[in-house]
Amino acid sequence: MSFTLPPLPYAHDALAPHLGERTLHFHYDKHHRGYVDKLNAATRGKPEANRSLEELVRTLPPGPTFNFAAQAWNHQFYWQCMHPRGGGDPSGALAKRITRDFGSAQVLKQKLCEAARDEFGSGWAWLTVRDDGTLAVFSTNDAENPLQAGLTPLLALDVWEHAYYLDYQHEREKYITAFLDHLLCWQFVADNYAASVIGEQQHSKRA
Ligand code: FE
């Protein structure tokens, strides 16, 4: 079995002008594909080749194979966190949870902006849900992923320079603001939250 590059959920130019076609060309066709190809090369003929990507991210020790697996997972997730008509505010059960944990969606967006802006060097900003159902915002370095700490990711924001440099050069915060205001796909975040709630209920029943 080998790991595959899932299709982009939209056309390469669909996120313009907030993220241009050239950015998606390099980010998806070169960087994301490169992580998948390197993961396949690193796991060929090994038991890891028959595990799921998520299992690899949860269990592999730090090192090159973890980095390729986590970057493959992170990018697959990141593309789904954006939509050509994204932005706005969350609704439904997710919105209630956000208001309970952060006070408002605006406060959550500010925390995401700070986490993404202040991550030093390459990394990711995340909205996650803990086992007790509460939400948490933080950033991770390089390829690191909240699954390693047993948290469930709801939203990922790539702050490696390759994610924004062609469009925004050094101005990372402008990219973050465009992501939050125009690209963020709240429906995907809400679907992940709903799945985490169902997963928690099943877990409680078994316990
Ligand atoms: Fe990236």
pLDDT tens-place string over residues 23-37: 999 999 999 999 999
Q: How far is the CA of 33 from the centre of ligand 1 (A)?
A: 11
| C-alpha of residue 27 to centroid of ligand 1, in Å | 6
**Contact assessment for residue 193 and residue 93, using Cβ atoms and an 8 Å cutoff:** yes
pLDDT tens for each residue of 116-145: 999 999 999 999 999 999 999 999 999 999
Confidence label for 49 from pLDDT (cuts 50, 70 and 90): very high
Give which of 144, 139, 143 is closest to 119, Cα–Cα. Answer: 139
What is the C-alpha separation between 43 and 50, in angstroms, rounded? Answer: 9
Q: What is the pTM of this model?
A: 0.95
Residue ranges of domains in the chain, CATH in brackets: 21-80 (1.10.287.990), 92-206 (3.55.40.20)
Question: Letter for the amino acid at 23?
Answer: T
Residue 24 Cα to ligand 1 midpoint, Å, equals: 10
Residue 145, both tokens: 């992923």
pLDDT, tens digit, 9 for 90 and up, residues 73-106: 999 999 999 999 999 999 999 999 999 999 999 9
